[in-house]
Amino acid sequence: MKFKTAVIVVLLSIGLWQVSTSGYMLAKAWLSHILIADAWSQTLKDKQFHKPWSWADTYPIAQLNIPKLNKNSYILEGSSGRNLAFSATHLPQSGMPDENKSMIVSGHNDTHFSYLQFLQIGDEIEVKTISDNHVYKIKQIEIVNSQISQLLIKDKKELILTTCYPFNSLTTGSKQRLVVYASKIDNILHI
């Protein structure tokens, strides 16, 4: 009888540990989004970048909006795995919308960029930065092998969005990427 009780206690403890770990991760994701939104709001007010939490090694540099889908994402500076866990990220070597240089933004296909699967050529993408609002039109969507193809930063006002492919995959580590190319068409006043 004592053995059965011990086994039950151990199994319940393991189950509780698993549930609490999942709850912690969900709470962390929820809170991080609120903190990133607050940091972006502060950035727009005083025109200085703000970290979402004191120990963060990143900060929001822009907000991406897809009007057709009513979806938006904050763009964090630096494309590290840690930053990708919290939001879409900007490749630091790439440009910003006010530069004549490709802007490359990446995000996970099961969270922040899950909606990329619904984009079509001709759709508009809005990017709000600390100083201005910009609009792009999608010109090309392709699936590439990341082991063979590399994204090139061009001297061109374009936005490149990337995410892993296929969507809804049951495994991680795919070599395929969905790449969305959009050309800048105008500055806009609303986001």
What is the reported pLDDT for 146?
85
Q: Supply the pLDDT for residue 3.
A: 78
- Give the CATH number, domain containing residue 102: 2.40.260.10
Q: How many domains does the chain have?
A: 1
Which three-class secondary structure string do you get for 73-142?
EEEEECCCHHHHCCCEEECCCCCCCCCCCCEEEECCCCCCCHHHHHCCCCCEEEEEECCCEEEEEEEEEE
**pLDDT confidence of 187, banded at 50, 70, 90?**
low
pLDDT in tens, 128-146: 999 999 999 999 999 999 8
Per-residue tokens: 137: 């039109």
7 or 87, greater pLDDT = 87
Q: Which domain holds residue 10?
A: 2-187
pLDDT tens-place string over residues 11-41: 777 777 776 676 666 666 778 899 999 999 9
* pTM of structure: 0.85
d(CA 84, CA 173): 15
